[in-house]
Amino acid sequence: MKEKVLKALDKIRPNLQADGGDVQLIDVTDDGVVKVKLLGACHGCPMAQMTLKNGIERLLKKEIPEVREVISA
């Protein structure tokens, strides 16, 4: 599942990079929790939680039904 998550993150990465940020995959647990780290301008941004849940998590759940949740590591 980790490879699927990496491919999906590559789809959203250009949007984050356009705003000076990025995302790094930390871990994918057996129970479908994806741990990521927001980098650059995304790290500490007031909108980071919304980006994480409404952007990254929504895309990953849509593309990979096994993903249960995305959390910041």
Q: What is the DSSP letter of 69?
A: E
Mean pLDDT estimate for the chain: 94
DSSP-assigned letters across all residues of 20-48: TEEEEEEEE-TTSEEEEEEEETTTT-TTH
Percent of the chain with pLDDT strictly greater than 90: 89
Domain residue spans of the chain = 2-72
CATH for 2-72, among 3.40.50.80, 3.90.76.10, 3.30.300.130, 1.25.40.20? 3.30.300.130
> Mean per-residue pLDDT for 4-28?
95
DSSP-derived letter for residue 68 is -
Residue 36: name the closest of 49, 20, 46, 45 by CA: 49
Strands 33-40 and 21-28, sheet pairing: antiparallel
At 8, the pLDDT band (50, 70, 90 cuts) reads very high
* 48-73 pLDDT tens trace: 999 999 999 999 999 999 999 999 98
How confident is the model over 22-47, as a mean pLDDT? 94
